[in-house]
Amino acid sequence: MKQLLEKLSNAYGVSGYEDEVRDIMVKQLGKYCEVEVDKFGNVIGKKGSGNPKIMLAAHMDEVGFLVKHIDENGFIRFIKMGGLEDQILPGLSVKILSEKRQLPAVIGYKPPHLMKEEESKKKVKYEDLFIDTGLDKEETQKIVQVGDPISFDSKFADLDKATFMGKAFDNRIGCVVLVEVMKRLTGFKGTVYAVATTQEELGLKGARTAAFKLDPDYALALDTTIAGGTPDINKTETTIELGKGPCITVVESSGRGMIPSPKIKKQLIKCAKEADIPYQLDAWKEGMTDAAVIYMTREGISSGGICVAARYIHSPYSIANLKDMENSVKLTLEFLKRINELS
């Protein structure tokens, strides 16, 4: 699983521009099930036939940027694609993904040596930042055009045997779990749809169209969630930590997102306990998964969520644990094995 995560993490897939990641998911899911790419760009794997039908959704896009303007000196102004905190952006290495080639660049900012006192106290706003390719306007415009996606230029790295860091763990981790579930799934009496969704970070868009198309009986979002256990996060903010098992969603975004089906939530907890799988219960103050739109599709779809804890999501690097991924796979498979207990 770690090898696939490294490949997916190092791939680029800003929301709406997931082509590189999509190609990997088509190839990987295609080893274990029938695969199609729908009109919206979702990758849909199918295993089995008949009822019940369950949709497993893992979004394949990542937060990033888009070229907005190239000024008279070749510096690039940009817009954000997804939820990003402006304070982390100055000085970061990025990759402009133009049609001609991938162009490395840096998010520029005024050095502290030249800042006036009031400037140094001012909160950073991304509108005041720019991207520096090191090229002049003429050379930049030969390669870059308005609308080109821009991604963090970060590379996967091991921290120890079970812990690693990399880009876009939200939600390439879920994509790996999705593939591994389909790889191990056997003897399911019904239909399992493994959906790698597009444009989740911009409004859960791909999940909405895929759920309408598939009209499943049940759905699970396979995603990441925010890990605490760091000096700046206390237990009242989150009790979720790395290495303590998959997170069963209790509520998303204080109820504005998915409120899981009670029977699915109870069944996930029961499966974890009886299969001796460590788990955590996760109540989200903010944030949503694909399940937030899936469960409101058509007349409603009974839904739940299994998430892997990760530190520092929506940044150039996240940290996650392989054991949590493995146990998420086990919990998903245990849930599928006992799906008929829900009826």
What is the number of domains present in the chain? 2
**200 and 237 housed in the same domain:** yes
Q: Which of 15-19, 87-91, 137-141 has the highest mean pLDDT?
A: 15-19
What residues contact 300, with CB distance under 8 A and at least 6 apart?
none
Last residue of a domain, one of 152, 185, 205: 152
Q: Is 157 inside a domain boundary?
A: no
Query: pLDDT grade, residue 112 (50/70/90)?
Result: confident
Cα separation of 120 and 239, whole Å? 35
> Residues 281, 268: contact at Cβ < 8 Å?
no
- Secondary structure of residue 299 in the 3-state scheme: coil
Q: What are the structure tokens assigned to 300, written together?
A: 């409603």
For residue 252, the number of C-alpha atoms closer than 13 Å in the C-beta half-sphere is 26
Rg (CA), the chain: 21
**123 and 264 housed in the same domain:** no
**8 and 103 housed in the same domain:** no
* Whole-number pLDDT of residue 115: 72
**Residues 73-81: what's their mean pLDDT?**
96
**53 and 72 housed in the same domain:** no
**70 and 22 housed in the same domain:** no
Cα separation of 325 and 316, whole Å? 20
Q: Is 97 inside a domain boundary?
A: yes
**189 and 326 housed in the same domain:** yes
**72 and 53 housed in the same domain:** no
Reply yes or no on whether 200 is catalytic: yes
* Whole-number pLDDT of residue 55: 98
A 10 A CB-CB count for 31 gives 11
**117 and 264 housed in the same domain:** no
* Whole-number pLDDT of residue 124: 85
CA 286 remoteness from chain centre: 15
Residues forming beta bridges with residue 302, ordered by sequence position: 218
User: Above 80 in pLDDT, residue 314?
Assistant: yes
**200 and 264 housed in the same domain:** yes
Cα separation of 253 and 259, whole Å? 9
* Whole-number pLDDT of residue 31: 97
> Residues 11, 21: contact at Cβ < 8 Å?
yes
Nearest Cα residue to 62 out of 37, 90, 95, 39: 95
* Whole-number pLDDT of residue 103: 96
User: Above 80 in pLDDT, residue 120?
Assistant: no
The one catalytic residue in 180, 200, 201, 252 is 200
Hunting for tokens 């955590």 — which residue is that?
280
Helical H segments across the chain, by residue range? 2-10, 19-29, 117-121, 137-143, 169-184, 205-214, 262-274, 291-294, 322-337
Query: pLDDT grade, residue 118 (50/70/90)?
Result: confident
Higher pLDDT, 128 or 36: 36
Q: Is 158 inside a domain boundary?
A: no
The whole domain housing 261 covers 2-62+167-342
Q: Is 160 inside a domain boundary?
A: no
Q: Is 159 inside a domain boundary?
A: no
0.75 exceeded by the pTM? Answer: yes
* Whole-number pLDDT of residue 142: 94
**171 and 288 housed in the same domain:** yes
**137 and 106 housed in the same domain:** yes
User: Above 90 in pLDDT, residue 110?
Assistant: no
* Whole-number pLDDT of residue 122: 80
User: Above 90 in pLDDT, residue 293?
Assistant: yes
Q: Taking all residues of the chain, what is their mean pLDDT, rounded to a whole number?
A: 95
The length of the chain, given as a count of residues: 343
**179 and 275 housed in the same domain:** yes
CATH number of 143's domain = 2.40.30.40
Q: What are the structure tokens assigned to 85, written together?
A: 């905190």
Percent of the chain exceeding pLDDT 90 equals 92
Over the stretch 261-287, which tens digit does the pLDDT of each residue have? 999 999 999 999 999 999 999 999 999
CATH number of 50's domain = 3.40.630.10
